[in-house]
Amino acid sequence: MSSRISRVFSDLRKKGELGLVTYVTAGDPNLSRSADILKTLDQAGADVLEVGVPFSDPLADGPVIQRASERALASGTTLTQTLELIKRVRAVVQAPIVVFSYANPILRIGLESFAANASEAGVDGVLVLDLPIEEAGTFRHTLVEAGIDPIFLLSPTTTDLRIRQAAELGRGFLYGISRLGVTGARSEMATGVRGMVRRIRSVTSLPIAVGFGLSHPKHLQEIGKCADAAVVGSALVELIAQQADSEDLTTVIEDFIAWLKGGKGEGMDGS
């Protein structure tokens, strides 16, 4: 039986459309507003929703997402509460939901307990940012048994061997990062994205989503020439930070997604 993630990417391929994957941190600015944000992103047309688990030492995250984690942790958000948030919105959110986490919060709960709770909450995929591919066998088996897609991260310097391993273990899609370093919106696209995607495509038919630094419709247009989906995180998280106390937060998010997907509405960069 195909997963919700696989069905979304299959539909996108049939329509010849680039998917939009959005990232937000659970509990930023608080759990109640996080629920509204996820519902809004789904209604605005995001194809996959990534939900980050706040973590005290997010080594792969740039300052924007680090601050989001700090705000979420200050509001008391945990992995368990993140899963409860997803469970709360699952009935009204159509898009697949992928949990982004570091290994420690999952290990604290226990992998089997986490997988069972995530499945019950309606999680479709899980990506553990600091899990070495060589140690991912048990993680993959446990998630697949729970009906959840394990998703793996690939970078421009990932070896061909590790790309093959990720392709063999992964389900749903593979996440290629467009540059080395930490997350964060950039004005210019990284070079070498097409080469990385070409290397991944040579060993797998899994959909490929590309992220790290995407913040403008022109970035999505470039990604659409080679990949199946674009991931937008830091630019969205920064927007949430700016509008956290505003009654217009959900409207601003809707406008941002419309702008990203089709260049409609007023540009976030004043264009």
For the annotated catalytic residues, the residue numbers are 50, 61
**Across-strand partners of 76?**
none
Peptide bond connecting 29 to the previous residue in cis, omega within 30 degrees of 0: yes
Are 66 and 11 spatial neighbours (Cβ–Cβ below 8 Å)?
A: no
Backbone torsions φ then ψ of 162, nearest 5 degrees: -70, -30
Using CA atoms, how far apart are residues 6 and 125, in angstroms rounded to an integer? Answer: 11
Using CA atoms, how far apart are residues 267 and 247, in angstroms rounded to an integer? Answer: 20
- Burial label for 226, CB within 10 Å (0-12, 13-18, 19+), is middle
CA angle (44 as vertex; 39, 45 as ends), nearest 5? 105
Rounded (10°) angle between helices 137-145 and 111-121: 40
Q: Which H or E run includes 143?
A: helix 137-145
Q: How many CB atoms lie within 10 A of CB 70?
A: 15
